[in-house]
Amino acid sequence: MTFRDFGLDEGLLEGIDASGYENATPVQEQVIPIILNGKDLIASAQTGTGKTAAFLLPIINKLLASRHDDQVNALVIVPTRELAIQIAQNLEGLSYFTPISSIAVYGGGDGSNFSNEKQALSKGADIVICTPGRMIAHLNMGYVKMKGLQFLVLDEADRMLDMGFFDDIMKIISFLPPKRQNLLFSATMPVKIRELARKILHEPEEVNIAISKPPAKIVQKAFVVYETQKNPLVKWLLKSTNLKSTLIFCSKKHNVKQLTAELKRARFNVKEIHSDLDQASREDVLLEFKSRRLPILVATDILSRGIDIDSIEMVINYDVPNDGEDYIHRIGRTARAETDGIAFTFISEKEQNKFNSIEALLGKPVDKEPVPEEFGPAPEYTPRSKSNRSGGGRGGNRRNFKPSGNSGNRSSGGHGHSGNRSGHGQSGQRHGGHSGHGNSGHGSGHGGGQGNRGSKPA
């Protein structure tokens, strides 16, 4: 199905085209007509399915006909700053040829961010993408123009509840006009999400895109090791693959720091990202990695969800993630859209049971690679749970595997522009090197020269 089939605005179709999208993804096929129809929606869809555009496109299309210039017209609430920034970038690509303005509102920046946000929120911005705490800070000050709000989106709602944002979400909603269209997206649908949906949504349509299964094109492998074998094995993997883009996950900040230091000592070009870094450093590192100037990034689960980085060739789980959803989110960082990828998980002896539960969720065992002989004997995979004693065997003899080719170079994320064609007052301000998210639309007057208008998304 093409985007033209939805009857979208020509300017929007141009932005879709420039973003490199040809056909609608399954979630887009289902969700876009429901939103265009004015219905509330509850959708279970993982990141990587194209869910962001699934809600942005119909919202932009509807706002083109109904936006109030001096109001916040749509509010998208998300769990993390990184996701807010990413959605804002996606939005700028898609809305590039429309007069829609947007701003990302999230904590952690310096004081100038806050005053830019304040200015935008008090003059109105078509679409605001926010993290809960920062939005409440603005709402409490009384200047946010919310009377004209038409759309509320809760993205990664399960993650927001896990992070304890329920009360914050309800508080934000108390500032919104009651008549609005509500859209809730969640990777999982536990009972508490159903409860939230009952409180917020009005006769919602429901869309379920099969969840909790990683895309088939991700090649999954595991190494059964002793804890002490993990560091040498990471180095061996990095050396023998020599890829342009590898993301390594550790559950604990402490491990991220230690592993990064160890890899630096071994002269790998590597950096770390975790919540101890300030916002600007996080953005810088992420940008370096996204643009492939940095080949290896070691991260906590801060990066496991929502964050879209094109063409990560390999994900290494230095440890077994805490649950199946986290595993799927982590390995889903590779093989985005049209690219292929490989994901390795290191399973120490005490992590075998945890990994076994993940395999149960996946519905099949993950292939175990033999640990190279130079690292000495490795443990057997014998998780206690009876269900999967064989554990997929230790078969295979692929010491020199080659990650399946990395074809894609889709244009997405990090669209290199910050203005829009109509010059709807975009200030084109940049935060920490990201391309123009958080354009307040109010800083430099209409068509101010700062917007990078010449650079159409690739």
- Residues forming contacts to ligand AMP in the complex (CB under 6 A) are 21, 23-25, 28, 47-53, 90, 308, 336-337, 410, 412-413
Which runs of consecutive H residues, i.e. helices, occur in 67-131?
81-94, 111-123
Structure token digits, residue 324: 């199946």
Please give the single-letter amino acid code of residue 405.
G
At closest approach, how far in Å is the CB of 202 from ligand AMP?
A: 25
At closest approach, how far in Å is the CB of 309 from ligand AMP?
A: 9
Which runs of consecutive H residues, i.e. helices, occur in 109-246?
111-123, 132-141, 157-162, 166-174, 191-200, 230-241
3-class secondary-structure state, position 308: coil
Residue 271 or 329 having the CB closest to ligand AMP: 329
Which runs of consecutive H residues, i.e. helices, occur in 291-342?
324-331
Tell me, what DSSP letter sits at residue 148?
T
| Separation between Cα atoms, residue 278 and residue 55, nearest integer Å | 30
Residue 391 or 414 having the CB closest to ligand AMP: 414
At closest approach, how far in Å is the CB of 204 from ligand AMP?
A: 20
At closest approach, how far in Å is the CB of 213 from ligand AMP?
A: 15
Q: At a CB cut-off of 8 Å and minimum separation 6, what does 332 contact?
A: 46, 47, 48, 214, 215, 218
At closest approach, how far in Å is the CB of 218 from ligand AMP?
A: 14
Exposed e or buried b for every residue in 87-108, given b needs 16+ CB within 10 A? bbbbbbbbbbbbbbbbbbbbbe
Residue 78 or 149 having the CB closest to ligand AMP: 78
Q: Compute and round to an integer the Cα radius of gyration of the chain.
A: 22
At closest approach, how far in Å is the CB of 54 from ligand AMP?
A: 7
| Separation between Cα atoms, residue 363 and residue 376, nearest integer Å | 31
Structure token digits, residue 295: 């080949």
At closest approach, how far in Å is the CB of 24 from ligand AMP?
A: 5
Residue 306: alpha-carbon gap to chain centroid: 2
At closest approach, how far in Å is the CB of 292 from ligand AMP?
A: 15
Beta pairing class for 270-273 and 127-130: unpaired
Residue 91 or 263 having the CB closest to ligand AMP: 91
Residue 90 or 246 having the CB closest to ligand AMP: 90
Residue 28 or 418 having the CB closest to ligand AMP: 28
